[in-house]
Structure formats: structure tokens, C-alpha cells
Amino acid sequence: MNAEPITCGDYVTATFARDFVAEGFDHDAVERIHSGLFDEWGHALAQSGLFTNRTVAAALHSWQDDPHSLLDALLANADEMTLKRYDLVWEALERAHVGSAEPLAEYA
């Protein structure tokens, strides 16, 4: 039998996914996650008492590397329409982020 290691996403899914989806669509949460603001999730993991400081730090580091992984974990059990709504917002935030990185035209 090959057991797969538990990932940070698995922890988040097990701890928060059901409530996150049940609370309804949260545009502000997507913006915070997209912006790399993970304090509330890290704090919630730490306060749950289920995870070591090392595990919480690993989760935060993982999210810094790939913010979308946190959203994926939170939406692991969501229905197709909910996933689509969140994906549309994420894509819009990506377009806005890319658009803001374009250099401004210089005038002579």
C-alpha cells in the first residue's frame, strides 16, 4: 500500500473548506488571497491546536509560492458553479495585476 503524504492543502481542506463554501461567495477573501494576505488563515491554523508551528510556517510558505493553492484547498469540495465564480474573480484579478505591471507611456 502506498500512502501519500498529507499536504498543506489537505490540512486547509479538512479544517476550513466546508465552512468557507457554506458561508457563500466571498470576493474580499479572493482579493486577500490573490494579494498574498494569508495572516487570517495562518492564524486560524495555529489557533486550531491541530498543527505544529512548523506545519503552519510550511503552509504560509507554500501559499507565498502559490497563492492559488490556498484558494484551491478552500474550494476542494465546492460545486462546479461555485468554482467557476471564484475562477472568474481570480482571472479578473490576474488581468488587473498584469495590466498594472505594464510600463506607463513616457511623454517627451
Query: How confident is the model over 36-95, as pLDDT tens digits?
Result: 999 998 999 899 888 889 988 988 999 999 999 999 999 998 999 999 999 999 999 999
6 neighbors 62 (Cβ within 8 angstroms): no
pLDDT at residue 24 greater than cutoff 70: yes
pLDDT the model gives residue 10: 82
CA distance 66 to 80: 22
Please say if the pLDDT value at position 98 is more than 80: no
CB atoms under 10 Å from CB of 76, counted, come to 18
- Specify the pTM: 0.80
